[in-house]
Structure 1
């Protein structure tokens, strides 16, 4: 009897120690089933997930994170080992913002055939520090590479070239007579120019003191190359604004690797659409750019009609094929400067720069009709699908990414409520 009592007390002590650890832990800790049903979590997990989970609370970790990390459920379901690490350091962007995002690092451990342990760590400060380090490292490292990869020049206060040196001719092939008095558009590849890239670069430099952009440029002989262009403000000795200094750098050799890395970091793994985190980062910049330039900007929300029915009757593989096909068909109606992003589940958003409300409605209707006419071959047979769409455009009252999404989402649900397979704006 005494032995049993000692064992019981030992177990109670261990349980108390575990609870104490869970409560005081500086990271979020959850225990769940393989399907995500939570049976134990600590206060920090609740704090991190409650804004996403809503009034129902954190009952299923995958449901709570479905709008920001829909891939987690697939990562777990595709992990076939009896136990082991499903993912380590998987980054989840919770609240995209122009200056700083809230980012979590997620680790998932499969303990046995019915239990997962998940940890969530707020790494927002680390991510911000990494971003600045990468930007600074890129340019500091470049200083020590072959000077033939660089051109140095200056612009006057109006943004036109007012100095020339041999580094420009070595990199671009342009002589002094070709560039003096020209803007930076002189160096851009003709098929990679929009009306407000150069003015925007100058405007951001005036706001921030310096600014870097990446784009395709073209040498005098017609050869294209990937370039980074750093523009910084020049001042007189008395501090008065005098113009701009420019460093033009050829980064073609690293662009292939960089492009693949960018694709992995910014693309939805299933559909090939832009992922949610990168969309918000890009959308904030696009809104600010539209405000500066005075050009219109429109968003279109797209939602697959009766998508749950597709999954329930034809299976998840058919559902995945439907989502992929929606993206492919939508892209046929978009320009190169337009964006389609997957915000979560079966919900997508189009970002249409330089497009007013009437133009957005036309594009949305064209996409709706194209998808309605589509027939998708699956193992369960041929599927016909439709989508509902809601449009919103930037105005004085609808002046932020959040405003645009809210108005477009409201229009989307009007389309749903009035029969689906419709466009509302």
Structure 2
């Protein structure tokens, strides 16, 4: 133990142990960067191999000698693999089993087949151990990627090259002693054995510092690159915020952190007045309960809402919410869809109303009337249908022109819609023919309503090119029996209308 204490072997073990601890720290703090994990594993394998050899020196246990030397070379091979991993090069995995296997075979032959000169064993170990760092040094010195890393890679490569040369020199000395039949009974007294402790291990410590610098340099470069990308992304996002045609809000944990000029103009709200507020205040009371679930869902699905300006006016808007990142930030987009809603309303009116009079068209009337008829059947209520036809309308067209006739139709339709209840359906079937559907109305109540309407039409005066035109209307009324069909009800009202015309027009006739 005393000789071990005063030998460089203990110092070498301590330096390697410190290296293993340093590599472990480097791996832990540089995750998920690739490379340091191999360096950590290789350093601990080296420690295991050196410790096994120390126990062999103390006990003479031969398997420990075989295991220790093979494990040390395996550790060196894994360390070199870490360099390839760091450089994103294909890994020469074969070096690990080949290095350890060759050394184990040589040691096993020495102990159990035929003894070999100890210097020859050292030469074999040094030859394998010198070729391993040569591979890593070559990769580092020829590293073409990442110009910012080139200098530090070359520095580490030069140090590893020096480490390899010292190890190969050790092998050369061992070969010289072997050829000259020089053998040291105590291998720890061999110059070839002690050479790495005096020169190679210090170079390894310097290489370790270089590997740490390589890793820190890459982390720094990536951080700078990410910072530039983040700044560029922020600038792009800022430009997008400023040029987009929709209002945009950046939310942090449900509160407004930023807004773009479009949103300020859209709501008449200055950005400063919105900061740290909740987005619910930008919408009418009836919509505010919907905002919370939209913020929770945040899947970008657009939702139609009614937005509230600062002056109290409202406008139809389309709202969508998406996540910006995993830190609770969300992007809320608001688009003014007034034009779209107006267009939808115009299209709806075009699809359901008569373009001249504004009354329902035939198609829309049938759809709604069928619904009302089914409801009346379910509830057992009476429903009435009336067919209306303007008397002698052709004479107006022939005498005063179609423009005057159109004016009469519009004034008649306006009067009927004014007199109708909100639940009544009024439609133009074509020409001068109109129809009324009166839900929840008895025949007597329907007749009274239609008589009042007829009298109002009789009093109507239409000014057409300076001429006051008078008009009257004939009406046929039918009430729905149980299980009545809409077309049968219309036929009954048509028959009643025909009788009204036969009996002198300007009257209301009830279907028999």
TM-score bin (small chain)? 0.3 to 0.5
Structure with higher RCO (Cα < 8 A, 6+ apart): 1
Q: Larger radius of gyration, structure 1 or 2?
A: 2
TM-score, structure 2 normalization = 0.34
Higher helix share: 2
Higher strand share: 1
TM-score, structure 1 normalization = 0.41
